[in-house]
Amino acid sequence: MAKTDKIKRIAILTGGGDCPGLNAVIRAIAKPAIFQHDIDVYGIEDGFHGLIYRKAHQLRAEDVSGILTRGGTILGSSNKDNPFDHEMIVDGASKRVDVSGECAEYIREMGWDALICIGGDGTQAMTQKFHELGVNVVGVPKTIDNDLSATDVTFGFQSAVDVATEALDRLHTTAMSHHRVQVAEMMGRYAGWLTLYSGVGGGADVILIPEIEFDMDIVAEYCLSRSRHGKRFTIVAVAEGARPKGGKMVVAKFLQDSPDPIRLGGIGKVVAETIAERTGLEARATVLGHLQRGGSPVPYDRVLATRFGHAAIELVVERKFGTMPALQGDRIVPVLLADAIDRLKLVPPDHSLIRAARQLGTCFGDEPAVG
């Protein structure tokens, strides 16, 4: 396709775990494409699964009307299908094969001039690989983990923070009533952004994140100290990827058919049981799990997703492929996909919010808390 040719037909897919704001992005891509640029828009079903198995349908204006406030994705998603390492039955045996060439051929057969992939680091890594194959691609950054480099914030993060913060608010009341240590395990994989922000927002007394290894003796002593000083409850917010000093992350299971086979989970129970054993205090664990991913996006994410979606279709029209829109300060700017997936964005141990929380008396498990 010559650089002077007009973009006539595009496809959208949503990959990885779902989160609030996906539909807002689809809407913000499709409506300008249809009404402003006279572009036909197709939705690929169930992420890269639909690209592999050739499942797609045209999106019309009525399909994307009224979806701004809806959670999840009208296109469906999958976090197991990797076109570059896909499990298939070949000659009666299960094998891992690269079907990216067939996917690229499907894109050409459908006449799609560009592919917009909405997702987190795993999705964008595959999007970059398709770019290297010569497919015209644009990414859109999504994840409740907020761990994607090159953008200050990903849509979905703030909605998850709000859910987790409300959960901590609710745990406060039962913890106070029963004089318990309430441990809330949160998502985030290898990054502690979600636990840090919701922990501070929800007034957690202890915040344990992957970036700061914790000492259970310090955590237990902190809970006892609160009890001795008349504070007969403690709220602990722990990220699923948090680990004790010299220890490892707690793995719930391995999924070999997933691009990221490790599924973290269980650290909340370990922390609660250890606190109870070492202090004699009653401790309970709550796993927030997929509650953090579901529901309607908060207004912040609706706005951010709309800005990202609009920027994505503009990048396609301008033929700036191999890029994704990113939030830097208050501006939406294009960045290279290669830069966005270069590394995970982790919480700096000296982050200003951590410093503020420490001075307010929050314990991060690595040193005795003040106050």
**pLDDT tens digits along 33-83:** 999 999 999 999 999 999 999 999 999 999 999 999 999 999 999 888 899
1 pLDDT exceeds 60? no
**pLDDT tens digits along 110-128:** 999 999 999 999 999 999 9
User: What is the average pLDDT value for the chain, to the nearest integer?
Assistant: 93
Smallest CA-to-CA distance from 51 within 104, 93, 95 is with 104
Selected residue with higher pLDDT from 367 and 239: 239
Average pLDDT over residues 140-152: 95
Distance CA 232, CA 224 (A): 9
262 pLDDT exceeds 90? no
Distance CA 200, CA 356 (A): 9
3 pLDDT exceeds 60? no
Instruction: Please answer whether residues 265 and 222 qualify as being in contact, where contact means their C-beta atoms are separated by less than 8 angstroms.
Output: no
**pLDDT tens digits along 275-284:** 999 999 999 9
Which residue intervals of the chain are DSSP H helices? 22-35, 48-52, 100-110, 121-132, 157-178, 193-201, 216-228, 267-279, 299-317, 337-340, 352-359
Instruction: Please answer whether residues 112 and 56 qualify as being in contact, where contact means their C-beta atoms are separated by less than 8 angstroms.
Output: no
150 pLDDT exceeds 50? yes
**pLDDT at site 251:** 81
Domain chopping of the chain, boundaries: 9-155+297-340, 160-293+348-359
DSSP 8-class letter at 258: S
238 pLDDT exceeds 50? yes
pTM: 0.93
**pLDDT at site 93:** 81
Distance CA 274, CA 267 (A): 10
Residue 367 phi/psi, 5-degree rounding, is -155, 155
Under CATH, to which class is 160-293+348-359 assigned? Answer: alpha beta
Under CATH, to which class is 9-155+297-340 assigned? Answer: alpha beta
**pLDDT tens digits along 179-212:** 999 999 999 999 999 999 999 999 999 999 999 9
**pLDDT at site 265:** 78
Neighbours of 371 (CB within 10 A): 8
**Stretch (H or E) spanning 116:** strand 114-119
157 pLDDT exceeds 60? yes
Residue 99 phi/psi, 5-degree rounding, is -110, 20
**pLDDT at site 2:** 47
Residue 77 phi/psi, 5-degree rounding, is -150, 170
* CA atoms 347, 349, 350, 353: torsion sign: positive
368 pLDDT exceeds 90? no
**pLDDT tens digits along 323-354:** 999 999 999 999 999 999 989 999 999 999 99
Instruction: Please answer whether residues 47 and 77 qualify as being in contact, where contact means their C-beta atoms are separated by less than 8 angstroms.
Output: yes
Instruction: Please answer whether residues 237 and 168 qualify as being in contact, where contact means their C-beta atoms are separated by less than 8 angstroms.
Output: yes
Residues of the chain with pLDDT > 90: what percent?
Answer: 83
Smallest CA-to-CA distance from 146 within 164, 129, 131 is with 164
- Per the annotation, the verdict on 145 as an active-site residue is yes
AA identity, residue 103: C
**Pick the catalytic residue: 46, 121, 145, 162?**
145
First to last CA, the chain: 65
16 pLDDT exceeds 80? yes
**pLDDT at site 223:** 95
**pLDDT tens digits along 268-318:** 999 999 999 999 999 999 999 989 999 999 999 999 999 999 999 999 999
Query: Is beta strand 93-97 parallel, antiparallel or unpaired with respect to 86-90?
Result: antiparallel
